[in-house]
Structure 1
Amino acid sequence: MSFQLSSVWQVLGPFPIGMREQDFGADPLEAYGGFSQLKYSKTSQFPSELSPKGQVGWTKVKSIDNVVGPLLFPDIRWEQNGIPFGWSIEQYQAWARGNLKISKKSHILIQLHGVTSFYINQQKYSGDLYGYKSTLHWVELETGTYSLEVRLVHDVRVFGGGNKNGPQCQFSISIYPLDCGTMVDDALFPRQQYHRFHSNTSTANTTTLLGRDMIKQVLMPSFIQYQGFAGHFGSVSIHNLIPETLHVVSIRLVFQAYHHISDVITVLRPAILLQRSNHTTMVKGQQRRIGFSFDLKNNTVHDETLFLQANKVHVKVIVTFATSTNTFTLVDDSTTINSIDWNQMNTNNRNKASSVEATTTTTLPTSSVFLYTFLDFDGSVQYAKAKRPKVLDANENKPIILALHGAGVDVEHDTFWTDSIDAQDSVWIVFPTGRTSWGMDWHGPSMKNAFYSLEGLAEVMDLLFSRATDGNRSQPSDDQDWIVVEKSESFSIGNINRLIYMGHSNGGQGVWYLATHHPDRAIAAVAAAGYVKIQDYVSYNNWISHSHIDPLLFGVLESAYAEYNNDLHLSNMVGLPVLAKCGSEDDNVPPLHSRKYVRLLNEYSKNPNLIKLSEVEGKGHWWDTVLNDQETNDFLKKIIQQNDNLQPSSLNQHHFIITTTNPASLGVVHGIQIEQLLIPYRKSSLVGDMDTENNSLNLKSLNVSAFKICNRKESTITIDQMVFHHVNRKEGVLFVLDNNGKWMIETSKWPKRGERSRLSYGPIHRVYESSKPLMIVIPNQSQSSTIDNYRHLALQISHDWYLYGGGDSMIVTDDHPLVTFEEIEMESTETMNNRISPFFFRIYLDIGNDNQAVSQLLGLNGNNVDIEINHSAIQVGSRYFDRPGSGILFLSPGSLNEMAIVISGLDLEGLQLACQLLPRRTGMLIPEWVVTSPLTKEQGVGGILGAGYFGNNWQAFGY
């Protein structure tokens, strides 16, 4: 083997750190030169208040099977430390150092799981904190010994807290050589196509090894026997492991359908790439999920009938690639899909009948859960699971249960979650993923994913039953009963705007978030063990930064995440039926969280007994019937039975308060959509009083400058004592505050060019709500060493969005033509049936004026963003920042429907520091612009020089 990883690791720590603070820096060892400059010593001590002596030193720990830890610090009195601070004090940091010896020049694949970052000879790489094991870094190393340094953070949300033996974290290392050590040789890439299943040649054998590393994670929908695939979208994860840009030319699928006796049919179909070939590019080392669509429509009736009877379907994915000089083909043949019997029984009381005719209502046995694929808001292929009701009917107004999982729950494989809610008589249950098992706390992209999964299910059902009903094909079941679906009859999954939000733990928090931000899409909410907000779950009070930062600046930073403070927005869901549950002995999300929700809701409702908490005695955080006991089922049954009589809370509340700090994340509330704030990111409200006798609505505004009436009955609207009669509400009415402080009905195009609204508001984390793949733009012309750094930083950004958000990105140079975006816009509009968001994002990396696209961006007509950058200084408004190592991260308007994120530095250090502020997970306090400095490495946000927002005309304000 060409490398050897040390089995003994040097550990230094523990030191304090707050939840989500590590991405800001906040490393006490930076005061002494940084960990990389410190050598192991049995006698060296460093200050840490976590230790009874106020100092900690070095220890050594052995790794077993490339697992380091759990790390134990027996001298630390964790229980005593927790008396004033609770389990948040267990959020600690430490460093570990090992060696990697390389005996000959090598290409290795490496990833560290359980950490957010690690360093190879001080080059920083993104780790895999949640242990997804879906990414690897391709690293080329010369002969020698390399230092492998790991910054460990005991993340209480990941590793847990309250262990009687103290907090214990560990990390594991995936590392192995890339077997194609000579893969750049022409012999390996001849100017002809070859396939992985060719044999008896060295080329084929090497390609097999290369294919194993390059193609993985094929996503396909479930195969439902006698119906077909639950969706016509799939994706394949591809890792570019050749030293040049790689283009995906085509994808072909070979389906082999197996009966219980023999292989009955093989079908070859070309798949359609969801991006055009010139957009499906990957730079060296990049990993992307490439989406495709497929169909079987051109088979003969005989072949299709045989195919649909299969007990399992084997799928080969054949991908053809091109480089600037070669074309080659690789194959993945590892995917087998077992058929799901649509009529499978989960109970023993199956209805015995010789025939059931499909009429308006078709009664069928309880079904299995199945996986279906769909196009998400950004055009990527995602999946969800659905549980079919016992009865299929054509009621288009019935509700749908949207079930949000907890942190770390894998919807695809964790069947306990999909089993935790009983199949309903006629109501569908949808289990979205939030894009990953940890997701984004059901905020931003996770929330959009949940809503798009509903539309995806409707399309899948249309696909299945348009196929299943052709020719009145009948479906034999296990005991030879027959269920016939007539082509003239149909059924509905229900109304995607009449939802029952349901979830547990992080999913319970997600229920509170959706209910407070999209209450008009729901008729009820069931929240079990949901925490109030991330800052209350594991407190932010132990941040190192608090000892250094100006409180006003920290307030500006906190406002970046205020839109996700569920308690601040609870007024929005008054009138919505709620069942709040928790276990009395929950030591994960203490009952205090649910009790707080109930108290606040009752206060807003002015009724102390309106909502009562169901606190189940003796139960902890999870128990099998938490969402499946008599109380929950009775609540669901009552809501579903009353469905037709339940109106959105907007129509039955005589007094209401709409609250927001950022309309970008707020949907229609009480029939009103807030579009713009006078001062963005300040608490804002509309207070409404309804007069049913006079069919009028009186509104009082606070910090609101534009809103739209979307779904209200009143014809007379009074806003801040200004009266509007005979309001036409058919297509919505937009009210805008003019320059004189007077409300007016806006009939012309709004907002005007250069003016902001909820669609162009930040903060920076909205980059992950882009309606297209992210495009990361780096300079084309730069010094060799600098361009390598640009490429490395771009790869880490791409990696993090892929890993933590299931997202897609492109890496291009600053000479990439703008027309590409127009092409993507047209194609995606056609592909996604106009369900796209108006804005997509580009991320620009720059030092000084290296990136010509940044200069072009800031010089665009109508781009009056209040920031200028050159080699010597960064200017924000009237303020100048010229310290070495300074960097900036800011939002900017772009061309066409583009929003831009510019990440720039006065030097490489400034760029690197600014890059690490790009949020990769939830809870990052990054507003619309931040200026950072090298002091952040030690003091965290205490080293930030300035931060803030832009006004509605892009003027900068803040700290």
Structure 2
Amino acid sequence: MIQAKIDVGPEWEAVGPFPSGMREHPLLASPLHAFPRAGGHANADIDFARRPYGEGDWPSELPCGGRAAWARFTSSHEDDVVEVSFPADWDQLRADRGWASLQYSALLRTRVVIPPNAGAVLVDALQAVEYAFVADGDDDTPPTWYNGDVYAFGATPLGERDASGPSNFAKPVVLAPGGYTLLVRAIYECRMFGDPGVGNPPVIKVTFRAWAGAPASLLPGLGVFPDVVDGWLAGEWASVPLRAGHAPLVVDVDAEVAPGLRLKTVKTVHIQPYQTRPVALKIKQAKRLAADVKQLKVALGGFHWAIDVTHASISDTKSFRLTFASPAPEPRQPPALVSLAVVVPPAKPYEPPTFPVFLALHGAGVFNEEPGWRGEMPTVPLSWVILPSGRNEWGEDWHGGSMADVWAARDALAPAIAPIGVTVSNETVLIGHSNGGQGTWHLAARYPDRIRAAIIAAGYLKIQDYVPYTEHTGWRFADPALAGVLMSALSPYNNDLYASNLASVPILAIHGGADDNVPPRHGRAHVALVSAWTRGGADIKFVEYKGKDHYWPGIFREDAVKEFIEALPPKRSIDEVRKAGFTLATANPDESGGKGGIKIIELLAPGRLARLDVNAPQWKDGAGDGELDLHGTNIKRIEVTGYAQGEAATTFELENGEWAPVPSSSPLPPPRAYGPVIRLLSTRAPIVLVVPEASDSPLRSFAVRYANDLFTYHRVDVNILGDGDALRAVADGSLGSGSVVALGRPDQNRYSHWLIAQERIPLAFPTRGVMTIHGALVYEKGAGIVSLLPHPTAGDDALGAIVAGNDDAGFDLAARLLPLRTGVPIPDWAVTSTRSLWQGAGGFIGAGWWSREWGWSGRASWLDRE
């Protein structure tokens, strides 16, 4: 279907530049709200849409003279790109606080007219953070802000649908016909756009396109299907997205698509109007697929998916595509998403494997199917290579759900190739470049027992050291105690805090000496940290290549890499690791494995770092043979695996300073599921958003928008349920083990009412327009809360959450804090206020962590009232 393109005004007017902290944009801190116009509209967004061009300027620390002003820009006729830059002494700013000073935000506007009978429109907003439409003549309705496609997924090979139409990630927006002022928030972020270089201004490039109509569509360009290897599909899952039009879609598939080959939905899939949802299909194969089968067809939701089949022979293929559930779901449940990894087999795949499997993590923005990335892998005889996606080119920086995707890919390989009689090593060597190098540090330090070694190229230490958070506007308003609580939300992702876990893991870190993207200081610092924890005894080496940049061809085929691989020692036994002594650290037991067969499974105080010294040299009374000398901080329970292979693990609890074994029959409840809020994305099944039943509810509209955002940014499946259906699912046990988020106050949402009535967390809504947190009254208009809470049916293996406001404005502010991109520091809960509009995080009423039993935690929370 050919859709008519809507003319978006080529002339753009903008104000800026304003400072923008790293990943601060969900917290707002808008200068337009900080400096309202005298006599202007009470809503700063509407006021900006109506304000005459050139009227007024705004205080800002970035431009010379300290005032941000108006500017005009024209979009390109060929590709609709508008390039935004502002005059400022950027080199002087850089000299002050480094490249973080180059980050800035701007607010843009132009005109757009929605034609009659357009219905919904499809929007591609590439590299835009947010956008909104202010209708002509409507001064009463606050504009709705939509998340843009800031990573420009729509311009990637997967995202591009055709040259002239909307991308696969275009989002439906329902607008009445007529004229609008289009508002766009844009940022220059160093992590995305890089360093423009000395003497060059940082330029934001935004592409905004819209098309009339948003009909129901199958999106085969985003389909996921495994290759056929010697007649057998390399994976048990497939998926393809469907986007509903103005009517909902119901999809139920059980089809034989070839002799002995069936595709089946695990559960009926319900897609809400204008929602995009990936439909997961379980593959059941009973016999080899004939080599002459080049295409399969399956009907779903009124559409037909024509699947092009790629056949390969394991003996001569360069690579094949492996699909899998990410992560593995519970029986009879659909997965959170169906993911795809590229597998590179060895030249002689049928010979017994003599070297570990390489698990290779790509850099930011890199597509894991790119031949160039595959071609960079070390060539080791009889070694297999897996190139996971981490969900997509950006994912979660190899944290959370992206980390789970890596391990799911590793676990999926052996069963996928077992039908053709091929085996792989059960050992793993992690390898990664740039963001994937950071990810390699991350995975290695969280799961040291799962790997044999790690090879890291140009990996940064942690997100706050890559692009510092020094430019956050909110920090200039926040109580330092509040800032500390918020930043503790990033502790689980701070690789430096986990450096002690890497003792006994052979590591090679390589870096270009002239790298101006991730300077070699990052690699040097990480190696120094690991070495310090082992008193210089770590099996770790740093190699710096003078004059080399961030990347160079053959980076993983350098002599140092070959020598490291050839000299790789056997993996140390549990006994050897324990006798050498180590310190095990974690800030989140749910995303950490063990070391030496010892795992921290419960914290005394969530939100704080836990460390366990095992036979560590700093303690005078060492353990005897076969004994463990254990000293811990912030630890309630640990799990210890015996010395013998396969011996069952024993749980120990700290009581009165002594470690006591916990009997298997103990009534002690299992440890709670841990935050921070972004861990809602680490879901084992589709995320469930619970909304009021009314089809015209603004909360239902928000749920569709957020579901589409989650699909764009994470490819995650989302099931939107009415509150009545959710309560019935709780009663009959069919809710599933995915993260469950309730939208709205108890007086708006019956599921929220039931949830709060359980009193699992110290949050209450005693009357409309009021909430209490640990008994403290929050009555302000515009206040809203986002909070984790226990999952209603999945025990302590999953998370629930609630988002609610004292009014609609409060909900809108709190809903901005639902997770979408990494690095946004929100712990278990946070309460916003209207001050957040201009103070960012400094305008929070409170934030913090719940206790290990989901109660109040005074030691890890901040509230501006008693």
Normalising by structure 2, what TM-score? 0.89
- Which residue, 261, 265, 279 being the options, matches 1:290? 279
CA deviations on 1:556-577 (whole Å, 9 max, x unpaired) are: 0111111111011101111111
**Aligned pairs for 1:299-338 within 5 A:** 304=289, 307-308=290-291, 313-319=294-300, 321=301, 329-333=302-306, 335-338=307-310
**Aligned pairs for 1:350-749 within 5 A:** 367-377=317-327, 378=329, 379=335, 380-393=337-350, 395=352, 398-412=355-369, 414-463=370-419, 465=420, 490-495=421-426, 498-607=427-536, 611-639=540-568, 642-643=569-570, 646-647=572-573, 651=577, 653-689=579-615, 694-712=625-643, 730-738=647-655, 740=656, 742-749=658-665
The alpha-carbon distance between structure 1 residues 270 and 521, as it changes in their structure 2 partners (threshold 3 A), is closer
Following superposition, the deviation at residue 825 of structure 1 comes to 6.5
| Greater alpha carbon shift after TM alignment, 808-817 vs 243-252 | 243-252
**Aligned pairs for 1:97-112 within 5 A:** 97-107=109-119, 108-112=121-125
CA deviations on 1:753-796 (whole Å, 9 max, x unpaired) are: 5xx62x51211111111211111001125xx8xx4311221112
- Which residue, 246, 249, 269 being the options, matches 2:249? 246
Residues 1:857 and 2:755 are matched in the alignment:
yes
Following superposition, the deviation at residue 818 of structure 1 comes to 4.5
Q: Contact (CA 8 Å) 2:769, 2:807: kept in 1 or not?
A: no
- Which residue, 256, 265, 268 being the options, matches 1:273? 265
Following superposition, the deviation at residue 21 of structure 1 comes to 0.3
- What's the secondary structure of 1:293's corresponding residue? strand
Q: Contact (CA 8 Å) 1:239, 1:288: kept in 2 or not?
A: yes
| Greater alpha carbon shift after TM alignment, 63-72 vs 504-513 | 63-72
Q: Contact (CA 8 Å) 2:16, 2:105: kept in 1 or not?
A: yes
Q: Contact (CA 8 Å) 2:783, 2:807: kept in 1 or not?
A: yes
2:206 is matched with: 171
- What's the secondary structure of 1:889's corresponding residue? strand
Partners of 2:575 and 2:320 in 1: how far apart? 33
Partners of 1:903 and 1:383 in 2: how far apart? 32
The alpha-carbon distance between structure 1 residues 751 and 522, as it changes in their structure 2 partners (threshold 3 A), is farther
Q: Contact (CA 8 Å) 1:400, 1:428: kept in 2 or not?
A: yes
- What's the secondary structure of 2:673's corresponding residue? coil
**Aligned pairs for 1:15-414 within 5 A:** 15-33=18-36, 34-38=44-48, 39-42=51-54, 44-64=56-76, 65=78, 67-73=80-86, 75-107=87-119, 108-121=121-134, 122-133=143-154, 134-163=168-197, 164-178=199-213, 211=217, 216-224=221-229, 226-241=230-245, 243-250=246-253, 252=255, 270-274=262-266, 276-277=267-268, 280-295=269-284, 297=286, 304=289, 307-308=290-291, 313-319=294-300, 321=301, 329-333=302-306, 335-344=307-316, 367-377=317-327, 378=329, 379=335, 380-393=337-350, 395=352, 398-412=355-369, 414=370
Structure 2 unaligned segments of length 5 or more: list them: 37-43, 135-142, 155-167, 330-334, 617-621
- What's the secondary structure of 1:451's corresponding residue? helix
Q: Contact (CA 8 Å) 2:103, 2:188: kept in 1 or not?
A: yes
Partners of 2:597 and 2:262 in 1: how far apart? 46
Following superposition, the deviation at residue 253 of structure 1 comes to 7.2
CA deviations on 1:846-885 (whole Å, 9 max, x unpaired) are: 135211111211223xx53111124132111131111000
Partners of 1:733 and 1:31 in 2: how far apart? 56
2:165 is matched with: none
2:801 is matched with: 901
Following superposition, the deviation at residue 893 of structure 1 comes to 1.6
| Greater alpha carbon shift after TM alignment, 815-824 vs 695-704 | 815-824
- What's the secondary structure of 2:744's corresponding residue? strand
- What's the secondary structure of 2:342's corresponding residue? strand
Partners of 1:409 and 1:769 in 2: how far apart? 22
Partners of 2:224 and 2:646 in 1: how far apart? 44
Partners of 2:392 and 2:839 in 1: how far apart? 32
The alpha-carbon distance between structure 1 residues 410 and 27, as it changes in their structure 2 partners (threshold 3 A), is same
Aligned length: 807
The alpha-carbon distance between structure 1 residues 873 and 734, as it changes in their structure 2 partners (threshold 3 A), is same
The alpha-carbon distance between structure 1 residues 903 and 450, as it changes in their structure 2 partners (threshold 3 A), is same
- Which residue, 843, 849, 862 being the options, matches 1:949? 849
- Which residue, 751, 759, 779 being the options, matches 2:692? 779
Q: Contact (CA 8 Å) 2:5, 2:210: kept in 1 or not?
A: no
Normalising by structure 1, what TM-score? 0.80
Following superposition, the deviation at residue 342 of structure 1 comes to 3.3
Give the aligned residue type for 2:130: S
1:924 is matched with: 824
The alpha-carbon distance between structure 1 residues 844 and 406, as it changes in their structure 2 partners (threshold 3 A), is same
1:720 is matched with: none
- What's the secondary structure of 1:840's corresponding residue? coil
Structure 1 unaligned segments of length 5 or more: list them: 181-209, 256-266, 322-328, 345-366, 466-489, 714-727, 829-838
CA deviations on 1:210-246 (whole Å, 9 max, x unpaired) are: 54x666522211233x4343224211110011x2321
The alpha-carbon distance between structure 1 residues 547 and 638, as it changes in their structure 2 partners (threshold 3 A), is same
Following superposition, the deviation at residue 654 of structure 1 comes to 2.2
Partners of 2:445 and 2:538 in 1: how far apart? 20
Q: Contact (CA 8 Å) 1:672, 1:711: kept in 2 or not?
A: no
- What's the secondary structure of 2:7's corresponding residue? strand
Partners of 1:525 and 1:698 in 2: how far apart? 28
- What's the secondary structure of 2:223's corresponding residue? strand
CA deviations on 1:692-728 (whole Å, 9 max, x unpaired) are: 8632111112121111102546xxxxxxxxxxxxxx9
- Which residue, 700, 708, 720 being the options, matches 1:811? 720
Partners of 2:182 and 2:665 in 1: how far apart? 57
Give the aligned residue type for 1:809: V
1:261 is matched with: none
Alpha-carbon RMSD across the aligned residues, in angstroms, is 2.5
The alpha-carbon distance between structure 1 residues 796 and 750, as it changes in their structure 2 partners (threshold 3 A), is farther
1:868 is matched with: 764
Give the aligned residue type for 1:102: I
| Greater alpha carbon shift after TM alignment, 385-394 vs 590-599 | 385-394
Q: Which has the larger radius of gyration?
A: 1
The alpha-carbon distance between structure 1 residues 711 and 165, as it changes in their structure 2 partners (threshold 3 A), is farther
The alpha-carbon distance between structure 1 residues 390 and 370, as it changes in their structure 2 partners (threshold 3 A), is same
- Which residue, 6, 15, 20 being the options, matches 1:12? 15
- What's the secondary structure of 1:440's corresponding residue? coil
Give the aligned residue type for 2:146: Y
CA deviations on 1:396-417 (whole Å, 9 max, x unpaired) are: 78521111111001012x2111
User: Percent identity over the alignment?
Assistant: 28
1:717 is matched with: none
The alpha-carbon distance between structure 1 residues 674 and 22, as it changes in their structure 2 partners (threshold 3 A), is same
Give the aligned residue type for 2:280: G
Residues 1:911 and 2:811 are matched in the alignment:
yes
